[in-house]
Structure 1
Amino acid sequence: MALSWEALDGFVIGPYRIRVQEEGPAATAGQHYLAFYLEREGMRSDRPILRGLYAMPRPRPIPGWFDGFFRYPLAFQGEVIELDDAQLRTFFRAVGRLIPPGGWLALAYETFGESQAIHQETEQALRLGVPPILTPLGMCLFYARCAFPIRDWSIAEGWREGPRKLQGFKPREETHYWRRADELWEEIRTFLRRTEGATRLEFLHARRRVEELLSLWTSPDES
């Protein structure tokens, strides 16, 4: 069962709290523009760490979804702050709880002037044929349990889709999860064979993320 976005307001991540701000309803009923800030010692991050359009879950066949832009690292009164690995995983685990089975979470890597290292590395890795889940933003989707499968919108199918992005789906049922997981691991094994001995940084980083996937992998009833 997905949580409401209001339920995430105040969620604790180490020394931080998530603060969710509604920036207004969209033209379509049930959709809202949301901004996620982090708060530390009563001080809010200068800009949202995540911002986008959220569609509340509705009866089949319309799932809930969030189409957003992740800005990282973030700053508090100009001081740049980076979350540690556990805090980053906890943040996206919380965001993923907004998405019901069958829904999706999308993170843009085309930023129209706000490009950061996480977006640049994701785009470059995709250009080199790295599986989406092994990119920086793809791992964020995995933390959110929205990676089965991940679709790369490298060519938008019309202006309404917005910037290029990775769109990760949350499996609707366990059998779907295991089928997609098998397909994903076959894609990863093919990539590992193809890049054996490679020295390019994007490939080395992606290969290290395979180790992280193995250490964090859980079955759907443990997510």
Structure 2
Amino acid sequence: MAPINFPQRDESADDRNVTKLPPRPSSLEGRTLGDYTISVKDEKPLRRIGWTGFRLFLQRPDSRHCTGPVIEGIHSSGGKGVKPWLDIEYREDVDFSEGEATREGISLRRLGLDADLFGTLERLIPPGGHIMVSYETDGAIHRETLRLLDAGVPPAATPMGFLLFRSGFTLVKNWYLAEGGHEGPRKLWGEKAPDTEWEATFRQRTERQVREFLARTTGHGSAELDEEARIRAEAILAFSGRGNP
């Protein structure tokens, strides 16, 4: 498991522009993740007012783009009583292959770039907004998240939920909406607190969940996943200043 850190927001002039101007995925064009550069493609308005479809790709220093998007989904600019939000699918394994003969790829998790990516996405969401991420895509992070949720691990202590928590979405919920036979994929829903009072409330709720989890004595079928979930839970408490550092 990669070392855990909570990235600090860089309040540069570039960042301030993202919050002052109407937030759009295209504002992330050219931002860097380690040695890679974000490329925003297929940004287009959807049928609902304020909804924008988009896909994020990564570009290597040699200008080669990955073959599929690392992020794909919808950005909403919000509306009356609703702050901007994201509804996305995430792929942590990035393929740069040009053909079947040579396979080239990276894992954002192994490189520690996954937290940077979600920290970049967070710039699009103001206080009071939210992000939804499907965990039913066929990737290791999705399978691990689903398995731990089914075992009763708090959403914020799952691999996907912890990415959201680290990015400033301090209340993470397991969300599933049955739509009369047209059910969408199950998702984690991360809430960004609208103010400091709600931030304290969100953190208290999350802390209560992870403390109850840490107090359990039974495992969840996989010693490795269980141990990593406990490490994440302890990191959440340490971040809040109430747990063991």
CA RMSD of aligned residues (A): 2.2
Q: TM-score by structure 2 length?
A: 0.79
Please say which structure displays the higher CA radius of gyration.
2
Partner of 1:190: 212
How do 1:1-223 and structure 2 match up within 5 A? Answer: 1=19, 3-41=23-61, 42-58=63-79, 60-77=80-97, 78-83=103-108, 84=110, 86-111=112-137, 115-146=138-169, 148-153=170-175, 155-158=176-179, 162-195=184-217, 200-214=223-237
Q: TM-score by structure 1 length?
A: 0.86
**Percentage identity across paired residues of the two chains:** 31
Distance change >3 Å, CA 192–CA 215, structure 1 → 2: closer
AA partner of residue 199 (structure 2): Y
C-alpha separation in 2, matches of 1:183 and 1:139: 15
C-alpha separation in 1, matches of 2:112 and 2:156: 18
Which blocks of at least 5 consecutive residues in structure 1 are unaligned?
Answer: 219-223
| Contact 1:195–1:203 (8 Å) recurs in 2 | no
Distance change >3 Å, CA 161–CA 54, structure 1 → 2: farther
C-alpha separation in 2, matches of 1:35 and 1:143: 22
- Deviation of 1:122 after TM superposition, in Å, equals 0.5
DSSP-derived class of the 1:206 partner? helix
Would you say how many aligned residue pairs link Structure 1 and Structure 2?
Answer: 212
AA partner of residue 145 (structure 1): G
Distance change >3 Å, CA 215–CA 188, structure 1 → 2: closer
| Contact 2:219–2:226 (8 Å) recurs in 1 | no
1:60-104 CA distance string (max 9 Å, x none): 402111101101211111412013454221111000111111111
Which blocks of at least 5 consecutive residues in structure 2 are unaligned?
Answer: 1-18, 98-102
C-alpha separation in 1, matches of 2:238 and 2:119: 16
